[in-house]
């Protein structure tokens, strides 16, 4: 017995000697990652009892993965990201206040910008400060930066005139973050150093008009310009000025661009400086710690990462502005001219808001602004709508539905439904169980493993979603949601947007499936009847099916790019047409999605059709030939009716897949751009759940999608069954 206990004791000692594994999720850009890795390896060398595992996640993905991990009760000890992610995380209760963990004294030496307050607590400590926008100018093309916007326009026009495809100014102007600096400069109100949730309609209208003027009247910015395009144009000496953030410097240095930085020019009309948002990127601590040892190790790591040493290392390598005030006087900072100018620019800035509601403001700005740019709304109307949309989205986000009478009703209904189901399926279930002993037990054992897998992995999530769809699961009730009744469904069904999206999804599905089937059938018939080297053509046309979907989608997005996409280059060089702004107009963007999806889907139908064609007896065609039926008649009366039983199930499956195809729409249109006008139902669900935290609402839309598809497939299968019976 004694031996046993001492064994246990020994095991525990051995256990505690094993190094603690601390996880860190970050979203650092490519160049910063290796610096972080070096810094962490250094720490591990000095602290052999701690092992750190750093994982890169793209910003949005880090957010949704961390949320999922937190619900599952795990997740990384430390999260590194921009300050605006702490609002939602803290509201959900999945990160903990750092001032409680480390004390007020720890926080004092940091720049206040690096330790923003949220609900009177500090949930993040920044490792660097900045992330703000500025004007970059290419010294090879222009001698200096303009002071005012009039000067900018004049200099820009001059440069644009030097050659075709040259632009005065480029920036990712469709993103609200990139035009936000201008809003305050157009505001009549006195400078207040706070970004307000309430949008200033007058200022916003003027900002929209200003950007439109730059684009249409002065023509110094490209008609369509995303981040990548702006980047490339600037690097290729095709743009004199660029608005971008401090994170981008490294990239341009590496590309050998000789550039200078300056504040975004003073707005000539109002005489005010645009005010970029200044934020921080830093570390937050998971609210749940696996053990006391993990907690202590996390604290040690956090202190190290924020220490003078680690910060200096980063500043040295990648030139970020340290968050410790004491370091601002260090040689590394003083001798870096970019950092000196950048610090001056920062003084014009507004602190980046951290409250979760800001997400709704950004989103509604993006949506309405892109509509204005696409010409589907005027500046004034867009500004007005953006304000309204922001208000309603904030309301939706913060709304905590209260249980009503129907909640109880649902609970009772569920119970009754369950009992009813049990009663109904009990005999079938019993006979199924009995089957295991009967003469056909072999059959039952063959079915069992697959169905156990399917049922646990798919049925549980399915019921989970049904439960959620009746609940108030959202940002504020992240850890303690409750069943509230039919309210989500009522909201969905009362919303006219749901019906228009539904209609659009139906059109999307119909157009896609019609093209899939007709192209597939067409190619199959031609390959089967006319072409030599059948297997070569067959293999060639399989290619689109073989390329992974996410790669396809991003590739097509690249091909539709206004500036660099081969499609526009082809239109210009060979057909002498003017370039089309595929991705910034709602109709053409939707068209781009359809083309991509048609490309993806026709090979499947072609293969199915080829298989069907092979099994049609040749004698039928020969007989038809003797009867002098022409090609069309042969197709119409032999091929089509005999292929139908093969094609209909394939088309049905295809329509279900297309109806629910999130990848293509989301990736090609970059999440519904322009202005949420390219959504289909699934992408709308995705947005509601992961961007606006309305899980309950999203789940109820999902359940409705499911019901629609069940009805649709039941009705089409029934037709099929009837036909089979007649035959």
Q: Name which of residues 325 to 384 contact another protein (CB under 8 A).
A: none
Rank residues 10 and 448 by Cβ distance to another protein and give the closer one. 448
CB contact at 8 A, 305 and 77: no
Largest CA distance in the chain: 99
One residue of 106, 182, 481, 686 binding another protein per CB under 8 A: 686
Contact region for another protein (CB under 8 A) — 290-298, 359-367, 388-396, 569-577?
569-577
* Cis peptide upstream of residue 636 (ω within 30 degrees of 0): no
Angle of the 358-374 helix axis to the 201-212 helix axis, nearest 10:
40
246: tokens are 């401090």
**Binding of residue 30 to another protein (CB under 8 A):** yes
The least distance separating another protein from the CB of residue 267, rounded to whole angstroms, comes to: 25
- Position 58 contacts another protein (CB under 8 A): yes
Q: Does 23 bind another protein (CB under 8 A)?
A: yes
Binder of another protein out of 119, 446, 503, 623 (CB under 8 A): 446
546 contacts another protein (rule: CB under 8 A): yes
Could you tell me which residues come within 8 angstroms of residue 362 by beta carbon, excluding any fewer than 6 positions away? 176, 177
Q: Where are the beta strands (DSSP E) in 119-196?
A: 121-122, 125-130, 133-138, 167-170
By the rule CB under 8 A, 435 interacts with another protein: yes
Stated as kind and residue range, the H or E segment containing 78 is: strand 78-82
Smallest distance, another protein to C-beta of residue 694, A: 12
Tokens 């991990």 found at = 69
Applying CB under 8 A, among 364, 487, 552, 597 the residue interacting with another protein is: 552
Name which of residues 596 to 625 contact another protein (CB under 8 A).
599, 603, 607-608, 610-612, 614-617
Kindly state the smallest distance separating residue 119's Cβ from another protein, in Å. Answer: 26
Nearer to another protein, 41 or 347 (CB): 41
Of 123, 159, 369, 556, the one binding another protein (CB under 8 A) is 556
- Contact yes or no for 104/225 (Cβ under 8 A): no
Kindly list the distances between the CA atom of residue 272 and the CA atoms of 131, 415, 599, in Å, as whole numbers in the listed order.
21, 64, 50
Q: Does 539 bind another protein (CB under 8 A)?
A: yes
Q: Are 671 and 687 in contact (CB under 8 A)?
A: yes
Segment lying near another protein (by CB under 8 A), choices 8-16, 48-56, 196-204, 361-369: 48-56
Residue 147 burial (CB count, 10 A): 13
Q: CB-wise, 337 or 453, nearer to another protein?
A: 453
Q: Which of 7, 408, 415, 454 binds another protein (CB under 8 A)?
A: 454
Alpha carbons 299 and 296: distance in angstroms, whole number: 5
Query: DSSP states of 371-433 as a string?
Result: HHHHTSS-HHHHHHHHHHHHHHHHHHHH--PPP-HHHHHHHHHHHHHHHHHHHHHHHHHHHHH
Cβ 4 vs Cβ 34: under 8 Å: no
Instruction: Name the β-bridge partners of 324.
Output: 110
Q: Which two tokens stand for residue 348?
A: 């014009």
> Hey, CA dihedral for 198, 203, 206, 208, is it positive or negative?
negative
> 280 has which bridge partners?
129
Nearer to another protein, 320 or 324 (CB): 320
CB of 102 to another protein, least distance (A): 25
Build a one-symbol-per-residue string for 169-188: x at contacts with another protein by CB under 8 A, - elsewhere. Answer: --------------------
According to CB under 8 A, which one of 289, 312, 629, 662 is a site residue for another protein? 662
Q: Does 514 bind another protein (CB under 8 A)?
A: no
Binding segment (CB under 8 A) for another protein, from list 52-60, 291-299, 323-331, 339-347: 52-60
> Where in 130-169 is the site for another protein (CB under 8 A)?
165
As measured in angstroms, the least distance from the Cβ of 91 to another protein is: 18
Please report how many Cα atoms fall inside a 13 Å half-sphere around the Cα of residue 373, on the Cβ side.
32
| Size of site (CB under 8 A) for another protein | 143
Residue from 63, 132, 235, 366 binding another protein (CB under 8 A): 235
Residue in 91, 207, 487, 660 binding another protein, rule: CB under 8 A? 660
Instruction: Single out the residue of 9, 420, 442, 625 in contact with another protein (rule: CB under 8 A).
Output: 442
Least Cβ distance, residue 674 to another protein (angstroms): 20
Specify the stretch interacting with another protein by CB under 8 A; choose among 23-31, 149-157, 390-398, 479-487.
Answer: 23-31
Query: Out of 631, 633, 636, 718, which residue is the one contacting another protein (CB under 8 A)?
Result: 631
Nearer to another protein, 136 or 155 (CB): 136
Instruction: Please select the residue that binds another protein; options are 107, 380, 511, 653, rule is CB under 8 A.
Output: 653
* Binding of residue 209 to another protein (CB under 8 A): no
For residue 634, give both structure tokens: 């042969």
Are the C-beta atoms of 122 and 107 separated by less than 8 Å? yes
Return d(Cα 308, Cα 424) in angstroms, integer. Answer: 70
The single residue listed with the structure tokens 């934020």 is 279
Q: How far is the CB of 431 from another protein (least distance, A)?
A: 5
- Structural contact between residues 56 and 34, judged by C-beta atoms closer than 8 angstroms: no
Strand, helix or coil for residue 101: helix
Q: Does 587 bind another protein (CB under 8 A)?
A: no
C-alpha 498: how far from its chain's center?
Answer: 21
For position 657 contacting another protein by CB under 8 A, the verdict is yes
Residue 35 within binding range of another protein, rule CB under 8 A: no
Nearest distance from C-beta of residue 256 to another protein, angstroms: 8
Question: Smallest distance, Å, CB 209 to another protein?
Answer: 27
Cβ neighbours of 410 (radius 10 Å): 19
Is residue 645 near another protein by the rule CB under 8 A? yes
Q: CB under 8 A: which stretch of 216-224, 274-282, 367-375, 540-548 binds another protein?
A: 540-548
Separation in Å, CA 180 to CA 25, 73, 207: 28, 37, 9
**477 is a contact residue toward another protein (CB under 8 A):** no
| Interface with another protein (CB under 8 A), residue from 170, 527, 583, 665 | 527
* Euclidean distance between CA atoms 314 and 312, whole angstroms: 5
d(CA 375, CA 571): 23
Query: Please, what is the minimum distance in Å from the beta carbon of residue 583 to another protein?
Result: 15
- Give 149 or 669: the residue with its C-beta nearer to another protein: 669
Residue 727 binds to another protein (criterion: CB under 8 A): yes
* Residue 368 phi, psi (nearest 5): -70, -40
Question: Residue 194 Cβ, how far from another protein at the closest point, in Å?
Answer: 25
Position 102 contacts another protein (CB under 8 A): no
Torsion, Cα 39 42 46 52, to 10 degrees, reads 60
| Residues 243-302, interacting with another protein (CB under 8 A) | 245, 247-248, 251, 254-256
Residue of the chain from 22, 50, 52, 69 that contacts another protein (CB under 8 A):
69
Supply 18's token pair: 């094993």
Among 7, 10, 11, 29, binds another protein (CB under 8 A): 29
Span of 95-103, 139-147, 286-294, 458-466 interacting with another protein by CB under 8 A:
458-466
Q: For residues 297 and 680, which CB has a smaller minimum distance to another protein in the complex?
A: 680
Query: Is position 640 an interface residue for another protein (rule: CB under 8 A)?
Result: no
Which has the closest alpha carbon to 709: 647, 646, 657? 657
**Beta carbon of residue 529, minimum distance to another protein (angstroms, whole number):** 8
**489 touches another protein by CB under 8 A:** no
d(CA 518, CA 606): 9
One of 38, 340, 456, 518 touching another protein (CB under 8 A): 456
Q: What is the rounded CA–CA span in Å between residue 544 and residue 552?
A: 8
Using alpha carbons only, what angle is made at residue 264 by residues 260 and 270, rounded to the nearest 5 degrees? Answer: 150
- The DSSP element (H or E) to which 317 belongs, if any, is helix 308-318
């Amino acid at each position: 017995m004694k031996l046993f206990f001492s064994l246990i004791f020994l095991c525990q000692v051995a256990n505690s000697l094993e190094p603690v594994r601390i996880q860190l999720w970050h979203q650092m850009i490519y160049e910063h990652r290796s610096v972080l890795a070096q810094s962490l390896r250094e720490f591990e060398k000095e602290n052999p009892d701690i092992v750190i595992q750093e994982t890169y996640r793209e910003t949005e993905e880090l957010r949704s993965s961390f949320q999922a991990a937190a619900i599952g009760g795990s997740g990384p000890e430390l999260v590194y990201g921009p300050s605006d992610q702490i609002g939602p995380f803290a509201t959900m209760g999945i990160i903990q206040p750092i001032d409680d963990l480390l004390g007020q004294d720890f926080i004092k030496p940091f720049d206040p910008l690096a330790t923003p307050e949220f609900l009177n607590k500090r949930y993040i400590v920044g490792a660097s400060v900045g992330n703000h926008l500025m004007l970059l100018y290419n010294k090879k093309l222009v001698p200096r930066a303009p002071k005012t916007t009039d000067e900018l326009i004049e200099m820009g026009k001059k440069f644009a005139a030097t050659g075709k495809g040259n632009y005065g100014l480029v920036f990712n102007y469709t993103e609200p973050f990139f035009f936000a600096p201008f809003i305050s400069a157009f505001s009549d109100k006195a400078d207040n150093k706070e970004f307000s949730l309430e949008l200033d309609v007058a200022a916003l209208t003027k900002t929209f008009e200003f950007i439109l003027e730059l684009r249409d009247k002065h023509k110094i910015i490209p008609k369509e310009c995303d981040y990548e395009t702006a980047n490339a144009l600037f690097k290729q000496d095709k743009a004199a000025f660029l608005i971008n953030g401090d994170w981008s410097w490294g990239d341009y240095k590496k590309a050998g661009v000789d550039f200078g930085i300056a504040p975004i020019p003073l707005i000539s009309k109002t005489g005010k400086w645009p005010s970029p948002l200044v934020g921080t990127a830093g570390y937050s601590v998971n609210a749940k710690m696996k053990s006391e040892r993990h907690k202590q190790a996390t604290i040690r790591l956090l202190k190290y990462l924020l220490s003078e040493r680690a910060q200096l290392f980063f500043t040295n390598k990648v030139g970020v502005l340290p968050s410790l005030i004491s370091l601002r006087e260090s040689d590394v900072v003083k001798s870096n001219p970019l950092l000196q100018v950048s610090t001056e620019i920062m003084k014009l800035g507004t602190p980046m808001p951290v409250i979760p509601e800001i997400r709704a403001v950004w989103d509604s700005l993006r949506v309405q602004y892109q509509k204005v740019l696409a010409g589907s709304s005027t500046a004034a109307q867009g500004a007005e709508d953006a304000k309204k949309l922001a208000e309603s989205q904030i309301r939706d986000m913060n709304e905590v539905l209260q249980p009503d009478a129907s909640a109880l009703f649902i609970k009772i209904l569920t119970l009754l439904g369950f009992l009813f189901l049990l009663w109904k399926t009990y005999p079938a279930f019993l006979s199924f169980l009995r089957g295991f002993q009967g003469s056909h037990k072999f059959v039952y054992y063959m079915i069992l493993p697959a169905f156990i897998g399917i049922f646990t992995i798919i049925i549980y999530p399915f019921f989970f979603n049904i439960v959620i769809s009746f609940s108030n699961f959202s940002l504020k009730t992240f850890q303690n949601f409750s069943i509230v009744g039919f309210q989500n469904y009522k909201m969905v069904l009362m919303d006219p947007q749901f019906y228009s999206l539904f209609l659009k999804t139906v059109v999307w599905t119909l157009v896609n499936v019609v093209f899939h089937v007709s192209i597939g059938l067409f190619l199959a018939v031609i390959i089967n009847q006319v072409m030599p080297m059948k297997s070569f053509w067959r293999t060639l046309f399989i290619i689109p099916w073989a390329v992974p979907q996410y790669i396809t989608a991003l590739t097509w997005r690249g091909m539709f790019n206004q500036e660099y996409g081969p499609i526009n280059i082809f239109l210009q060089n060979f057909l002498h047409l003017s370039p089309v702004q595929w991705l910034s107009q709602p109709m053409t963007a939707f068209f781009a999605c359809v083309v991509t999806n048609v490309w993806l889907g026709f090979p499947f139908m072609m293969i199915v059709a080829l298989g069907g064609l092979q099994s049609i007896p040749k004698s039928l065609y020969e007989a038809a030939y003797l009867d002098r039926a022409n090609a069309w008649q042969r197709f119409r009366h032999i091929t089509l009716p005999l292929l139908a039983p093969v094609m209909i199930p394939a088309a049905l499956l295809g329509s279900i897949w297309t109806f629910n195809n999130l990848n293509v729409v989301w990736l090609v249109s970059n999440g519904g751009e322009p202005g949420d006008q390219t959504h289909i139902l699934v992408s709308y669900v995705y947005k509601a759940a992961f961007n606006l935290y309305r899980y309950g609402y999203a789940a109820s839309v999902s359940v409705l999608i499911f019901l629609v598809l069940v009805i649709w497939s039941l009705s089409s299968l029934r037709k099929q069954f009837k036909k089979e019976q007649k035959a």
